[in-house]
Copies of this chain bind each other. A is one copy, B any other.
Amino acid sequence: MNALVATNRNFKLASRLLGLDAKLEKSLLIPFREIKVECTIPKDDGTLASFVGFRVQHDNARGPMKGGIRYHPEVDPDEVNALAQLMTWKTAVANIPYGGAKGGIGCNPGELSLSELERLTRVFTQKIHDLIGIHTDVPAPDMGTGPQTMAWILDEYSKFHGHSPAVVTGKPIDLGGSLGRDAATGRGVLFATEALLNEHGKTISGQRFVIQGFGNVGAWAAQLISEQGGKIIAVSDITGAIKNSKGIDIPSLLKHAQ
């Protein structure tokens, strides 16, 4: 099912449980603003290439909007729309004073050189710089992007608005990034898992876990769960899977994965 259809269906279920009236429900489903921009760059071989970039700003009633920017060939408006909406519900449920947004560029970062990625990121930033900002919408890294991408956004945005380290999160520590940001999403998996187990009168320690994905999030989750005494019996990623019913040695696996 299309991500937007699924997200809207879940929201409507929640809305009915809360007894929201139909017009408010409709208003919450329509994003505040969607932007789609053309990003044309010279490639290293001198030819031109055009990519489409998106930023969907779903809701800012509770504070500046927050959400990642992903680079992936299958980025499409519906997916970005759905993810922006989910950011609104996530910040609201966690009761932090932010709204929800999401963005991305339809490209395959693996096929672009570092210098092409820099040019693409800078052009995208030029196209949306008037629509983001510390009090408006604060991007973050997501699939296919990372601290280096945030550093380029920060630098390009600062050409227009002056030194503005707060315009993105997930930037390199040296440019004002937060310690612990690296592990944060994986640590969130740990916390959510702990909360779920506690509701059933259990703890991490003594449970067995299977982890799907071993990128930044999965690897940190594996390491932190294992430190809490959880037994990881299987791990998979895009290249394959391993299994050990006595528990995988996560530190060794991490060393191997690097």
| Residues of A that sit less than 8 Å from B by CB | 23-24, 26-27, 30-38, 40, 42, 46-50, 52, 60, 62-64, 97, 115, 126-127, 130-131, 133, 135-136, 159-160, 162-164, 174, 176
Does the CB pair A40–B27 fall under 8 Å?
A: yes
Does the CB pair A31–B27 fall under 8 Å?
A: no
CB-CB under 8 A from A135, the residues of chain B are 162-164
Contact of A33 among B23, B31, B38, B176 (CB under 8 A): B38
CB-CB under 8 A from A24, the residues of chain B are 48
Q: A36-B34, A162-B135 are in contact. Are A26 and B50 (CB under 8 A)?
A: yes
Does the CB pair A33–B30 fall under 8 Å?
A: no
Extra pairs beyond A130-B130, A136-B162, A159-B160 (8, CB < 8 Å)? A23-B49, A26-B50, A31-B36, A33-B127, A34-B35, A35-B35, A42-B115, A130-B131
Does the CB pair A48–B35 fall under 8 Å?
A: no
Contact of A35 among B33, B42, B49, B159 (CB under 8 A): B33
CB-CB under 8 A from A26, the residues of chain B are 50
CB-CB under 8 A from A176, the residues of chain B are 97
Copies in the complex: 6
Residue of B nearest to A155 (CB): B61
Supply 15 A–B pairs (Cβ within 8 Å), ascending by A: A23-B49, A26-B50, A27-B48, A27-B50, A31-B38, A33-B37, A33-B38, A34-B36, A35-B35, A35-B36, A126-B159, A133-B162, A135-B164, A159-B160, A160-B160
Q: What's the least CB distance linking A25 to chain B, in Å?
A: 10
Q: What's the least CB distance linking A128 to chain B, in Å?
A: 9
CB-CB under 8 A from A60, the residues of chain B are 163
Does the CB pair A38–B27 fall under 8 Å?
A: yes
CB-CB under 8 A from A32, the residues of chain B are 37-38
Residue of B nearest to A40 (CB): B27
Residue of B nearest to A118 (CB): B42
Q: What's the least CB distance linking A45 to chain B, in Å?
A: 11
Contact of A30 among B38, B46, B126 (CB under 8 A): B38
